[in-house]
Chain A
Amino acid sequence: MSVIQVQSPGLLSTVQDLGREGFGPLGVSASGAADAISLRVGNRLVGNAEGAAALEMTLLGGTFVFPQSAIVALTGSDFGATLDGSPLTLWTSAEVKPGQTLRAGATRSGARSFLCVQGGIVEKLFLGSASTHLLSGLGGHQGRALRKGDVLRIGPATAPFQKRTLSPRALERLSPRKLLRVTPGPQSVWFPRESQQLFYGSAYRVAEESNRMGLRLKGPPIVQRSGGEMITEGVSLGAVQITAGGQPIILFVEQQTTGGYAKVANVISADLHSLGQLRPRDEIRFEQVGWDAARALLLEQEQLLTSPDLFVL
């Protein structure tokens, strides 16, 4: 069986697929790739099913040795990756010869880069998924981020190498956004007009303490009407909850399944992948859209992802 040897893991590299849905009643959130679109496209570039497990790197990539040949693709943000010193093109499938070394560096754009390999990374599934859930130490490669010396197994090759590149038009339309579109949150009426104006009119900075559980934001504090008492309830991916101090937290892929803060808004499905590319100190804004618009944007995105001209050969 082919393997990848981890020579250096980078800042925070984990095995991720599209996550495990359906275990909310156990308190287990879906987890999965922080930028699902990059994972899906990367897998298709190498000829995998779009939900195959791959490596998710964060801010600073790692160094990986391939003792056997492999077919790979890097997607997401530009980590200045090289193969034996030669630059690797993002969003393009590439052949790796036995013994070659893939080195990813510090990001030149967003927070995350994905290394997809034909055959996928093979891990024992936990609740049907190979995704790592860091907080609870479940899934992925021994429930943790990669370390130097780890050896990752690769599934069998499925197809001969074919060079595929994401079309420039698709790349542009799928690129991450800093103006996040949201629908009203379940407690949006708890926030008076002035608070809403402040929320939608202000820029927020992504705080250093952000991670796969949630993105902490810093900006003008948002006040809610007094009197409303929250009873802990289920929370959804992309929920913008307002803490006691008035600062927003966007719940992300390793989210808690329930929570007791009021939610002013929720990032639309079509923009969730953008959250995975936000870096600490990035500045973001929120824009409210209607329910039909949110649905139309997702439909358009899915149509693009399944269109025959997604790739140029």
Chain B
Amino acid sequence: MKHLLAVAFVALALALSAAAFAIDPLPFQSTAQRERFQHLTGELRCMVCQDESLLSSNADFAKQLRRQIFDMMQEGKSDKQIKDWLVARYSTFILYDPPLAPTTIALWFGTPAIFMAGGIVVVVLLRRRTRPAALITEDPGDDW
């Protein structure tokens, strides 16, 4: 019984994941092109439902942009050209991976900077604590 349930669950999961990619079947020329399309649209934000990518969203907006991106691919446009085209219309907000720009410096370097500052504090504190101990071991007057 348990076994049967597990099989049913796996079957359901497979069916659902297949559905996720079958929102609108597009006539790709090759598997490679389909994979490129899925990778690219997975990196792009659906502006309507902002926590979903263009790949996974079922919104009308995402469907339309998927179609347009597909058409641009058939025209031989590169990923960068397609992204630039989208950014010109919807701003860099449409990219899940934000570009390095004056407005995103804090985003890119803020976390490492805070992490490094914390590391420096830890190192300074540890040095202060170990210094007296070091002095003791260096003391040659000990007989053990």
State whether these chains interact: no
